[in-house]
Amino acid sequence: MAGLSLVFTLIIVIAYSSAISQLFQQRQISQIKTDFINNMTHEFKTPIATINLALDSLKHPKISSDPEKVANYLRMIREENKRMHSQVENVLRISKLEKNDLDIQKENLDLNDVLEDSISHIALILEQRGGSLHRHFGALRTTVLANESHLSNVFVNVLENAIKYTDESEAPVIDVYTENVRDKIVIKIRDQGIGMSKNAQRKVFQKFFREHTGNIHNVKGHGLGLAYAQRIVDDHHGDIYVESEKGREAHL
């Protein structure tokens, strides 16, 4: 009887522990989902408001009669529209990752060309922040078998993070290095931003993860970029990792 009682007690404890564990997991998933929806809503509200203001301004006679101001407001509308499109594309990409439905066809490419194309995508953002980017292309063998679109997206994601995670009071400074190590090409992207904790480094490639410094919206984004980047790099038989310290620059 004592043995049976012990067995039943053990079964009850295990079942209770499993139920508690699942409850905590569901709560965590629910919190992640809530944060994601809040972040996406926040991301769309700002560009929509900016576009509406720009359109209202274009109706003003003094603005509509000035070609330079019209061109400036049209540029703002175009950039905000591109920003919203980029957000939608990121969500679609992560959805395809879940279904293993990414179309990754590869061809021989010059890595320097892909890097230059990626840099051109963030040039305007970097210029607006008064930042600078320095190229240190030391690799002599630069031909890679890759998908140009996906590989470019990886570099853009990392470069955007280098800008976003630089203190707003400072101008971003980014260094891009390439070198050949044995039969491989190594790309390093270094920033002089706020850095990240050891805990954040362990989670930085997880979906929806963002390291907050107070306000949940203090850094724009929804934590999908680096999860996508890791999947693409893995598919190209490469490795991606980060080296950083809180308060010091990061290397990817």
DSSP letters spanning 141-185:
--EEEE-HHHHHHHHHHHHHHHHHTS-TTS--EEEEEEEEETTEE
How many other β-carbons are positioned within 10 Å of the β-carbon of residue 144?
Answer: 18
Q: Which residues of the chain have pLDDT under 70?
A: 29, 31-43, 45-46, 83, 86-87, 89-103, 207-224, 247-252
Are 193 and 249 a contacting pair, CB within 8 Å?
A: yes
Are 191 and 122 a contacting pair, CB within 8 Å?
A: no
For residue 116, with 0-12 CB atoms within 10 Å meaning exposed, 13-18 middle and 19 or more buried, which class applies?
A: middle
pLDDT at res. 116: 93
CA-to-CA distance for 149 and 216, rounded, in angstroms?
30
What pairs with residue 184 in β-bridges?
181
Q: Residue 208: phi, psi to the nearest 5?
A: 75, 0
Give the containing element (helix H, strand E) for 90: helix 67-99
% pLDDT > 90, the chain = 17
pLDDT at res. 113: 94
pLDDT at res. 123: 83
CA-to-CA distance for 42 and 217, rounded, in angstroms?
8
Q: Is the pTM of this model over 0.85?
A: no
pLDDT at res. 39: 56
CA-to-CA distance for 162 and 159, rounded, in angstroms?
5
